[in-house]
Amino acid sequence: MKKVLVIQEDLIILKILERLVSLNNYECKAIPSLSDLSIEDQESNFNFIITDILFEGIAPLQFVAQVQEILTHENLLIVTSMGQDKIKQEIFALSGISGFYAVPIDLDEIDATLKAYNE
Amino acid sequence: MNEISLLFFIKILVLLLVVCWISIGVSMFYRRIRTSRLALIEATFADLVSRYLYNDPANPLSVQQINDRLKKTGIRPANRNNVQYLISLMIRTQRSISGSNFTKLQKLYGMIPPYGVSIKKISSWNWYRQARGIREIYEMNQVHYLDEVLKYRNDKNIYVRREAQIAMVVFLGWESLRFLPYLKWNMTLWQQIKVVEKLYDFYPQPDLKWLQKVYGTERSFAKRLLMRIIRKFELQSEVEFIMKHLADEDYEVRETAIYCINTFSVSSASMAYIKNEYDKIPDATQKLQLMNYIYENSNMDPEFYLEKLYGPNEDIKLNVAQILWNNGYKEKVQEFYMQQFPKSSLYVG
Amino acid sequence: MWDSVENFFGSGIVYDLTNYFFFTYGIILLCLYFAGVLLASRAIRRTKRRATFLQVGDIVSATDIPSVTLVAPAFNEGLTIIENVKSLLSIQYPYYELILVNDGSKDDSMEKLIREFDLEQHDASFISQPIPTASVRHIYRSKNKKYTHLTVIDKNNGGRADALNTGINFATTELVVCTDADCIIEQDALLKMVRPYLEENKEEIIACGGGIGIANDSIVKNGVLKELRLPNSIVPMVQVVEYIRAFLLGRMAWGEVNGLMLVSGAFGMYPRKRLLEVGGFDNKTVGEDLELCIRLRTHMENLGKPYKVVYLPETLCWTEGPPDYSILVKQRDRWARGLWETMSINKKLFFNPKYRFMGLFYYPYWLFFEFGAPLVEFFGLICIIAFGLFGWINWPVAILLFFAIYLLGCIFSTAAIFMYVKSFDHYTRPKQIIELLLAAYLEPFVYHPVIVFGQMKGYYKKLFGIKSGWGTMTRKGFKVSET
């Protein structure tokens, strides 16, 4: 089964994304921060990582770079409330980002992306 | 003061100290209970909303089930704090989501408690309750209360009128701009930001006639708001309004104009106008900001910069020197500094 | 009237005058403290309510909010510099720049920074310096896109104020936050600090401060305070209470009447425009934060523009307090000298109606009750000894009076702790609260005399022109979590 990792501090968004991913027939690991990831999961290959960029103790750009370094993945989607154009440009400058969704998020777009990958 | 009165005074003080201790104890106890209750409400709401938005056909969730679970977590009319917390969660969620799910959420909110709580708040004597009520009304898109809310757009309390003005934008869209020149009070930066955001989220298609109708306003906040709208919606056809205010007599208006013009690139004729306006700006820092815009958005114009190099302000001269130096006019900079300090050479670190 | 000195003292006039002086001074102070509690509780309540309409979540997603530069000077902090910079970089704000000013460190700070953050030198020939400072050697920016918000300025040593001024010169944002490289700033501190500027209405916000907390012996991970613990020893433990009382009661109360004369140097936000207008921090005084705030206020009074200095009740910055008596004395000695210098520089304000409330009330308050307090206490101690020797003291009444005053002090400290516990969740365990209360009740015996000594030492140095600089403040460093 294809795997998706969702990292969101906001419990409500986390739950909604988890549900969206699960109903698209992906195995979903939903966690509020990177430190909640088990060692087993750290070794997994995720088809998608859907993550926020605002976490304690790490700058947004550093966080994205860290996720890219330590987790094997195919697609990295950013879902964040800090979605100003400036931040978006900086994040894309890091390269390897598949999508950037600023709050308010149109979940249908994420849904379509997941479905397209599944087909 | 004798010993007896002092002893009496000490007794009162001890009593006060004990009251403080009890207050600390009660406060800690209440916080502990409250924190776990709020966590429970949040977890329940998150679960319900996610299941409602993405209903599993194999295990569908009915509205009745949602209402029952909310009731079990303490969402009852008598428990106002819990209800208030639920409302804040509902608003938070609705704000985070757009598209078809936004509509679905609105439908859900019409079917679950609290019912009619917000409208009761706006008739309260307390500004905090009033402002919260208005906010809930526009966040939950209860457009049928528009008339009640509009009454407060010039309220003496800043929070009440701010929320009413935002509500006006949410419900009336671009048309609400016609009220701008008639608002009695100043608009804070946050008010302007919220108005622009709401307009952008709810009415992404600009309706320029309402914007243009208020161009004649003399109110500083209105000018700033209009420029922010032009910037946010990238209204290239309206850039002239921003340009006109680059050398406004009001510092804040100039500040906003310089900030907003940075979003646009302009024709050479407009750039010539901007260069002309540059000289009229009295503040050196703002001049520097505009100079950087001119430099980044137009072809190199040595004459313009050379004129500034011989101007009165040291910081501007330094900036101009850097521009000229980096663009092939080193000898002009050296010549200038040789005149200034004939016996020294320019330090290049 | 009195034909000899002996008769003069024997007439009781000295005794009565002294008693009336202390009684009046004490009553005024008591009234001010009491008013402070009321004003502070109103201010805290109001701040919390206002925050409902301008939540951190709203600000983080907003466009058009002011950009902020955080200026952090560092001098010989090679041991912790990398962790400190990472901590400062992790602050959450969409339009954020960090300027670290290496103030001529003699250790390997620069080498470490260059290595860790892939810094490359940039041309420093055309830096404008609206505020004159010691010369800048080089400017560095990172080649790594992860660190686009970081700028390091390497300059010759000129002291803390000079380093801050260099950062202010170099900043291009509307707002500037001045702090120390070794402070731990709460992740959402800037989002909260910017609130008053977003809500600015008739009065311009010229300075905004946030609560500062003592975090000795607390656990730090990735530059974030992971577990707030109470200090193990009594000196920093009492400082926890002292800071809660000062920030939650004192600053909030003064803020409520727009009477704040001080925004702490450890964490203060200012509009850059105004900083440039007044020429930044004064590097000739060791009380540069107080001096700047008063100068900013004076500047606005001279301009005739309405203004405000505001404080946020929440602790947004954590620092390490002096861990023992000797460092505490050095710190208070420095603060006292800074106060002396600032009072002296701004003496024109004293009862000057041109400066309205600041001249008529706030400055005299600082002079009589902040600057004057240690002098009065010291004088009081001498009087007790002298009057005791003369046998003029009614000891049973004196002891009861002393006990009553002690209880009053305890009540104010307990009220401050109560307000803190009610408003914030930093200290939640009953054991912590009991320890804080005990520290507060021990303060008059084991702590207060030492700070009076430190202050008097500072005044003595100023009085006799004894040269003294910042003094060294040895820090133990926070406990770093390994996990």
* In a shared domain, residues C376 and C430: yes
For residue A100, what is the enclosing H or E element?
A: strand A99-102
* In a shared domain, residues C130 and C214: yes
Report the Cα C75 to chain-centroid distance in Å. Answer: 20
Tell which residue, C348, C298, C353, C166, has the closest CA to residue C290: C298
* In a shared domain, residues C87 and C18: no
Which pLDDT value is given to residue C78?
87
d(CA C131, CA C155): 14
* In a shared domain, residues C452 and C321: no
Asked if A19 and B201 come within 8 Å (Cβ–Cβ), the reply is no
Contact in structure between C43 and C256 (CB atoms under 8 Å): yes
Its pTM surpasses 0.80: yes
> Could you tell me the mean pLDDT of each successive run of 10 residues in chain B, 349 residues long?
89 97 96 95 96 87 90 89 92 91 88 80 91 91 88 91 93 91 87 93 92 91 95 95 95 95 93 94 91 92 88 85 87 81 50
Which residues fall within 8 angstroms of residue C158, CB to CB, at 6 or more apart? C103, C104, C133, C134, C166, C283
* In a shared domain, residues C170 and C307: yes
pLDDT band at C13 (very low <50, low <70, confident <90, very high): confident
Contacts of A23 in chain B (CB under 8 A): 54, 56
**Per-residue pLDDT tens over the stretch C21-47:** 999 999 999 999 999 999 999 999 999
Residue type, C483: T
The B-side interface with A (CB below 8 A) comprises 42-43, 45-47, 49-51, 53-54, 56, 89, 92-93, 95-102, 201
- Half-sphere CA count of A105, side-chain side, radius 13 A: 27
Which pLDDT value is given to residue B183?
84
Please measure the distance between the N-terminal and C-terminal CA atoms of chain B and give it in whole angstroms. 74
Contact in structure between C178 and C71 (CB atoms under 8 Å): yes
* Beta strands C479-480 and C219-221, pairing class: parallel
Residue C414 domain flag: yes
For residue C425, give both structure tokens.
């969740």
Which pLDDT value is given to residue C301?
96
CATH code, domain with A21: 3.40.50.2300
- As a whole number, mean pLDDT of residues C309-331 equals 93
Is C395 at the interface with chain B, CB within 8 A?
Answer: no
Contact in structure between A14 and B42 (CB atoms under 8 Å): no
Enumerate neighbours of A (3 or more CB pairs within 8 A): B, C
* In a shared domain, residues C172 and C304: yes
Tell which residue, C248, C363, C250, has the closest CA to residue C297: C363
Mean pLDDT estimate for chain C: 91
Q: Which residue's entry shows tokens 């340009």?
A: B243
Domain count, chain A: 1
Question: Above 70 in pLDDT, residue C219?
Answer: yes
* SS3 at position B301: coil
- Domain residues for the domain of A39 are 3-118
* SS3 at position B197: helix
**Per-residue pLDDT tens over the stretch A42-64:** 888 999 999 999 998 889 999 99
Residue C348 domain flag: no
* ipTM of the complex as predicted: 0.92
* In a shared domain, residues C87 and C211: yes
Question: Above 90 in pLDDT, residue C166?
Answer: yes
Is C483 at the interface with chain A, CB within 8 A?
Answer: no
Q: Where are the domains of chain B?
A: 40-115, 118-215, 234-298, 300-344
Is A32 at the interface with chain C, CB within 8 A?
Answer: no
* SS3 at position C319: strand
* In a shared domain, residues C315 and C381: no
Per DSSP, the residues of C201-263 read -SSEEEEEEEEEEE-TT-EEETTEEEE----SSHHHHHHHHHHHIIIIIIIHHHHHTT-----
**Per-residue pLDDT tens over the stretch C368-396:** 999 999 999 999 999 999 999 988 889 99
Which residues fall within 8 angstroms of residue C206, CB to CB, at 6 or more apart? C270, C271, C274, C296, C297, C300, C307, C308, C309
- Domain residues for the domain of C428 are 5-35+357-480
Residue C344 domain flag: no
Percent of chain C with pLDDT strictly greater than 70: 95
Which A positions 46-105 lie with beta carbon below 8 A of chain C? Answer: 54, 56-62, 65, 81-87, 90, 93-94, 102-103
Which pLDDT value is given to residue B186?
87
Which pLDDT value is given to residue B346?
47
The Cα diameter of chain C in Å comes to 86
pLDDT band at C221 (very low <50, low <70, confident <90, very high): confident
Residue C337 domain flag: no
Which pLDDT value is given to residue B223?
95
Select the residue of A60, A90, A103 nearest C61 (Cβ to Cβ). Answer: A103
For residue B322, give both structure tokens.
């850097």
Contacts of B9 in chain C (CB under 8 A): 404
Domain count, chain C: 2
Contacts of A61 in chain C (CB under 8 A): 145-149
Asked if A13 and B96 come within 8 Å (Cβ–Cβ), the reply is yes
Q: Please give the residue of chain C at the shortest CA–CA distance from A94.
A: C145
* In a shared domain, residues C387 and C474: yes
Enumerate neighbours of C (3 or more CB pairs within 8 A): A, B
Is C173 at the interface with chain A, CB within 8 A?
Answer: no
Is C403 at the interface with chain B, CB within 8 A?
Answer: yes
**Per-residue pLDDT tens over the stretch B124-162:** 899 999 999 999 999 888 888 889 998 998 999 999 999
C154 phi and psi, to 5 degrees? -105, 120
Which pLDDT value is given to residue C479?
65
Contact in structure between C20 and C395 (CB atoms under 8 Å): no
Radius of gyration of chain A (CA): 13
Residue type, C464: F
Q: Please give the residue of chain C at the shortest CA–CA distance from B289.
A: C172
Which pLDDT value is given to residue C2?
55
* In a shared domain, residues C446 and C316: no
Is B148 at the interface with chain C, CB within 8 A?
Answer: no
Query: CA–CA distance from B102 to each of B139, B141, C450 (Å)?
Result: 12, 11, 62
